[in-house]
């Protein structure tokens, strides 16, 4: 995951590690990269850019700069933490750790409940009438898992 950090705190930390760098230059680079992120400037590969990465490589995403798939304890400016890849998907490691909620597939990508179609079996299920939040989550996970299957099976089905 990314560790959220403010521009000021990041500059402070960076200058402690690299005392030779120019604070003004650093700030200008970060602020310009942040502005680019907000203007939806993307990495060549299509992913959102890693603002902190602008210290070394301009307008590139975390993966292209580091060669790693997802961040693990790397910094990102707090207002640029929620990233999307070229498919518009969000990964659990690229979300604000304090705001993670909802559903994720086996690879860790967020599932949009609106994108899941309800199988006809659900329409005659007791649980579909008045599902509580947790029940609905389980139903949606099950539906998503079987999205590509011809026949929908459900162990929790209760006939109306």
Q: Which residues bind Zn ion (CB under 5 A)?
A: 43, 45, 47, 61, 64
Select 64 or 116, whichever has its Cβ closest to Zn ion. 64
Range list of β-strands (E), the chain: 2-5, 74-77, 103-104, 110-111
Select 40 or 120, whichever has its Cβ closest to Zn ion. 40
| Least CB distance to Zn ion at residue 33 (A) | 14
Select 47 or 140, whichever has its Cβ closest to Zn ion. 47
Long-range contacts of 84-91 (CB under 8 A, 24+ apart): 84/47, 84/48, 85/46, 85/47, 85/48, 86/42, 86/45, 86/46, 86/47
Instruction: Provide φ and ψ at 103, rounded to 5°.
Output: -115, 145
| Least CB distance to Zn ion at residue 88 (A) | 15
| Least CB distance to Zn ion at residue 86 (A) | 9
């Amino acid at each position: 995951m990314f560790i959220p950090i403010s521009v000021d705190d990041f500059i402070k930390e960076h200058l402690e590690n690299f005392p030779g760098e120019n604070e003004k230059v650093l700030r200008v680079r970060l602020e310009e990269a942040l502005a680019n992120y907000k203007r939806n400037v993307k990495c060549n590969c299509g992913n959102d850019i890693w603002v902190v990465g602008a210290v070394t490589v301009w307008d590139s995403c975390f993966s292209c700069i580091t060669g790693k798939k997802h961040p693990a304890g790397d910094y990102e400016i707090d207002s640029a933490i929620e990233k999307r890849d070229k498919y518009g998907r969000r990964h659990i490691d690229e979300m604000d750790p304090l705001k993670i909620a909802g559903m994720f597939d086996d690879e860790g990508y967020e599932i949009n409940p609106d994108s899941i179609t309800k199988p006809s079996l659900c329409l005659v299920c007791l649980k579909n009438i008045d599902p509580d939040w947790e029940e609905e989550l389980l139903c949606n996970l099950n539906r998503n898992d079987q999205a590509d299957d011809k026949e929908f099976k459900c162990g929790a089905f209760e006939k109306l």
